[in-house]
Amino acid sequence: MVARTVSLLLNRNMGILKPKIVVVPLGDVDFMLVNRLATDIGPVFNCSVDILKGMKMPVEAQNVIRDQYYAIVILSKLERVKANSREKVIGVCEEDLYLPDENSILGYADILSGTAVVSLFQLRHEFYGLPEDEAKVYPRLYKEAMHQTAHLFNLSECRNPKCVNYYSQLMLDIDNKGGKFCDICRRQLTGHI
């Protein structure tokens, strides 16, 4: 009886300690895509997922001259929605993002604050002046979100071009890589969740 009580307590504590992913639709973003992402990403990281109703794109992050948003300011806003330190918050937006030393980025993650943001701006075909191929947008969003979320689970970038955690600068690299972690990344991930 005593042993059973201990094991129940352990289970309860493990449940409390388990990380949770919080997905935040930012601004006027395609909610269907975000919802689909939230559904798909949880099982991969063995986490429950909450999806927030949404948050406005922070005005403070907007650079009117560049017509872009500063990713670090967005992450600082996302950090405020965290209910506790074990939550990993991922924002998804349509707007183009930048960092001081990067013209335009697909996404950005900060391990210390446990926050990440992914932009659909470049993932859409129309960015290249081509007709938009909706079927390609979601897999790209999924792969980029997986890659950024992997950072939040302490994984560094992978050198395997087929791994979803491969650092992809070109859209071709994203399209060519798979949607799953390679064996090395999966083993590292298992050590963190």
Shortest Å, Cβ 186 to Zn ion: 8
Candidate list 29, 33, 163, 189; residue touching Zn ion; CB under 5 A? 163
Shortest Å, Cβ 87 to Zn ion: 24
Rounded CA separation 36/43 (Å): 13
| Long-range pairs of 158-162 with CB within 8 A, sequence gap ≥ 24 | 158/182, 158/184, 158/185, 160/184, 160/185
Q: Tell whether residue 182 is a contact of Zn ion (CB under 5 A).
A: yes
Candidate list 23, 24, 34, 158; residue touching Zn ion; CB under 5 A? 158
Closest Cα partner for 115 from 79, 141, 85?
A: 79
Strands 97-99 and 102-105: antiparallel
Shortest Å, Cβ 161 to Zn ion: 10
Q: Tell whether residue 122 is a contact of Zn ion (CB under 5 A).
A: no
Helix (H, G, I), strand (E, B) or coil at 35: helix
Stretch that binds Zn ion, among 38-46, 70-78, 92-100, 164-172 (CB under 5 A): 164-172
Q: Tell whether residue 165 is a contact of Zn ion (CB under 5 A).
A: yes
Rounded CA separation 15/84 (Å): 14
Stretch that binds Zn ion, among 71-79, 81-89, 93-101, 177-185 (CB under 5 A): 177-185
Stretch that binds Zn ion, among 51-59, 118-126, 170-178, 181-189 (CB under 5 A): 181-189
Cβ proximity to Zn ion: between 51 and 184 the closer is 184
CA atoms within 13 A on the CB side of 2: 0
Rounded CA separation 176/67 (Å): 30
Residues lying near Zn ion in the complex (CB under 5 A): 158, 160, 163, 165, 182, 185
